[in-house]
Amino acid sequence: MNNQNLYTPQKLPNYSALAYVYDTLMEDVNYEAWADYLDELIQIHAPEAEKILELGCGTGSVALSLDELGYYDITATDKSPEMIGMAKKKEAGVGSNVKFEVADFLDLQLDETFDLAFLVFDSVNYLHTSEEIRTLLMQAGSVLKPGGLFIFDFTTPKNSRKAIQYLHREEGISPDNYRFYRTSNFDGKSRIHTNEFHIEQLSRDRKEVLASFTETHKQKAYTLKEIEPVISGTPFQTVSSYADFGLDKPTRKSLRITLVCQWPTTQ
């Protein structure tokens, strides 16, 4: 990073400047495998589902990969206009049928209902209280058809302890000349995992810093025992839980837990 800057970086809401480096930051993530895993869960639990809603879609990689399968009608949403902007650019480049919209999963304002909704890549970990998670669940239920499913995942403390080994001091440059540097730390007592991003917009020759930004992301690591009572406090029923990207049940060693929940058929 350039430590000679004579100005104070702009502190932005999460996923504003980060949108410009997100795909570079996540270039090692196998989104096609993630989409295949979601498709496997859908085929196991809701094989008739066609109309799908993604919450927290980011730059759209999972939705676009899922759309390639050819049998889902997908609407993908994210709170960040910048992330949705990037997703739409990618969608235009591949000619998919995914509909991308700006929407906050804690305050959904959608005019349609869906057979199934999903929220992956530990977006739930951005919610730090049981009440916030309950709000998410109720919002998801509000846009599901009777009997519809909600699939979501979250990461555990074990995942955070492992992740900081390769996330701390990560850096890179995106193809459109944005440079990033990440610091990452995990407080085992509060179980808050903090990722701070320093982002610089560079000139075309990459010799000059045109603008500088910071974003601070705080996620709370959860255990299954903490999430289960929150679900029980809503109309949802847990259908199944899975460890990491397989079909085995979660254990204390699980890094990521995926839950499949069903909205009531009648209320």
* Residue 6, in any domain of the structure: no
- Which CATH number goes with the domain that contains 197? 2.20.25
Q: Do residue 164 and residue 152 come from a single domain?
A: no
Q: 213 and 150 in one domain?
A: no
Same domain, 256 and 176: no
Residues 109 and 149 in one domain: yes
Band of residue 7 on the pLDDT scale cut at 50, 70, 90: low
pLDDT value for 4: 44
Domain assignment present for residue 17? The answer is: no
Q: What is the pLDDT of residues 67-79, one digit of tens each?
A: 999 999 999 999 9
- Could you tell me if 34 and 141 lie in one domain? yes
CATH number (domain holding residue 230): 3.40.50.150
The verdict on 146 and 207 lying in the same domain is: no
Q: 88 is written with which tokens?
A: 């739409």
| Same domain as 137, residue 95 | yes
Residues 205, 257 within the same domain: no
Residue of higher predicted confidence among 10 and 145: 145
pTM, rounded to two decimals: 0.94
128 with 250, same domain? yes
Nearest to 117 by CA among 131, 96, 103: 103
* pLDDT band of 146, cuts 50, 70, 90: very high
For residue 30, what are the domain limits? 24-156+223-262
* 8 belongs to a structural domain: no
pLDDT of residue 11: 85
Work out the pLDDT band at 93, boundaries 50, 70, 90. confident
Q: How far apart are CA 4 and CA 147, in angstroms?
A: 57
Over residues 90-107, the mean pLDDT reads 93
